[in-house]
Amino acid sequence: PVQALIVLVIGYFLGSLPFGYLITRFSGLGDIRKMGSGNIGATNVLRTGKRHLAALTLLLDALKATFAVIICARLYGTDAGLLAGAAAFIGHLFPVWLGFKGGKGVATYIGVLLGVAPAAVLIFAFVWLLIARLSRYSSLSALVATLVIPVALWIMDQPQASLVMAVLTIISWWRHKTNIERLIAGTESRIGDKG
């Protein structure tokens, strides 16, 4: 129980580091929560036109979770790594620093995956790029990719990782509620659009 608590704390606090917010703020762009979709993630940072800052946001929001998984797996084993990844994901969505209003978890999802099943990141990337190429919707690409991952992990004989990622998929879908509404209405902004 104490170990689980330590894992949850490490995961949560690493995950709660809001890199998209910090990066845009410290590069003088202002408060990302007041721009575009209002989200703190890489997709919205891209709408500022600063591609390198969007890439950095994606990278750091992902790696914070990978780091949490690796540290905790080293300390207490594979299961602890999975728990830390899930906690990091929750930390990203509900960061104490931003009044518990965080991101939608796509980059952090990739980071958890990189920690628990690195090969599956290639599947995520393939599906994301394919849908993005066809639709130019970042949200739709993430929605489809996060749907494929639990199935892929199951097929790859990683039932535990599959189950945890399935839970993260459900939470991330719920966080994309307004994106889903806009996709259905045909008003979702496409990659490359400013709005």
Contact residues toward ligand G3P (CB under 6 A) are 36-37, 39, 41, 43-44, 104, 106, 138-139, 142, 179
Residue among 29 and 75 whose Cβ is closer to ligand G3P: 29
Residue position matching structure tokens 């998984």: 69
- In the complex with ligand G3P, the residue whose CB is nearer, 32 or 69, is 32
How far is 85 from 43, CA to CA, in rounded Å? Answer: 21
CB 168, min distance to ligand G3P, A = 13
Least separation in angstroms between CB 126 and ligand G3P? 16
Q: Smaller CB distance to ligand G3P: residue 36 or 101? A: 36
CA atoms within 13 A on the CB side of 184: 6
| Nearer residue to ligand G3P within complex by CB, 158 or 169 | 169
CA dist 96 and 34 (Å) reads 19
CB of 110 to ligand G3P, least distance (A): 11
Q: Which ranges of the chain would DSSP assign to H, the alpha helix?
A: 2-15, 19-26, 42-46, 51-76, 78-93, 106-116, 118-135, 138-155, 159-175, 177-185
